[in-house]
Chain A
Amino acid sequence: MVFAELYDKIYLSLIYADRWKQLFQGLGVTAEITLGALCVGIVLGVLICLMKISGNKPLQWIADIYLTVIRGTPMVVQLLIMWYFVLVAMDNKVLAAIIAFGINSGAYVAEIIRGGILAVDYGQTEAGRSLGLNYVQNMRYIVLPQAFKNALPPLGNELITLFKETAIVGYIALKDLTRAADTIRSATYSPVALFTAALLYLLVVLILTRLLAIFERRLRASDKR
């Protein structure tokens, strides 16, 4: 009796009218935004971080303002401002979300990378510079590769946070995994779609955690004795 009822609910939420496809399409949008924002965030983060450690006052000042504003305001508000005012001429919502999340993530990545750079022994820079490498070459070949290795665990966390945080893109009417599940919820009055969405998020997070662990281990290969 109970099982029949449960089956009905699952049928209605996931199978009827191919509703599961909406969830997977939503997951696709979520993934697209996450990956796009990750790329934007890393490029922006490295740039901001280099500005902050450059020793150039105006550049540091710009970086500080950016970090303060982005980390001091809610992501949802940033997203809404971005879509309704800053990118008002843009009609691609996914791209707008990528930009908004990328700019947000960049602030956190900048601080993560800065921590990674500070953790690289200053002797590395002295050795690099004493060979004749200039500041940029030394950063590129000596310091940043090691800084990334140091920063990988917190960067992995940032990726996972970013992935989950994209669930708010429904605010600009983007049909991501969360919004797709909620649409089904309102059509069926059943929580099944939302639970399924939660399960999918969890599954992806588990896979990401696993991949990051493997990646980290491979990067650490040179540390082995």
Chain B
Amino acid sequence: MTRNRTLMIGASCVIFSVFLAVLSLIWTPYDPLEMNPELSLTGPSSMHWFGTDENGRDILSSIIVGSRATLMTGILAVIICMVIGVSVGIATSVAPKWVEMPAIFGIDIVLALPTVLFAIVLASVYGPSTLTAVFAIGIALSASVAQVTRREVVVVLMADYVMAARASGCGTWRIIRKHILPNIRASLLVQASGACAIAILAESTLSYLGLGTTPPAPSWGRMMASLQPYLLINPIFPLWPGLAIVITVLGFNLLGDGLRESLDPTLRQSEK
């Protein structure tokens, strides 16, 4: 796959999901919460393209609305992990040694903690909700963002222009703003895209386990769980929410890969 194609496919998938979320605010084929017991578990038809669930709700409408919870989790978790991760990453690389070592150690520990397990603990403490999930996922992801940021910042700090800036009297804050941030922007963008994919996957997993988005708000993960018992009636049901998750996650992953390749000139020659 050439880099442009990766970027294009990724971007189209992401745009498609965003389109669904925006569409859900204006129009859905049916009311996603309207129950209709006579129409319980009908297969795809001209009236209900994706079929109806156990309560006769239109699956297509639920999926369109479900994109909101998914994208919101992704975006909020990315904001949390980028703000914490980048601040910690930069702070630890300019901080004195005695702050740096414990901080690196702390990052290593959070990195090793299983994200979803951490989210499960939080959900058990504060009760399951989209926000708890977002918070847990965001914190857990911030460790890897901090690590990558550190790695990048340390390289930038050694550059001659930073030394020149320091020699000409620039303060640490100004160096961070004028020299460090612009230089690591590209890699942060790639990080954000990858983190978004992980966050969305984690949210759908938590919702599937009943620890994420709570009913009645439709969520792709929970739809999977509630439709799974009806596989025998029609195996096509769980296909839809699954496909929606795959398209969105694949989109953000490919977008990240594509961005990395197009923003990092050294990767262009050795295509790995």
A-B interaction: no
A interface residues, Cβ below 8 angstroms from B: none
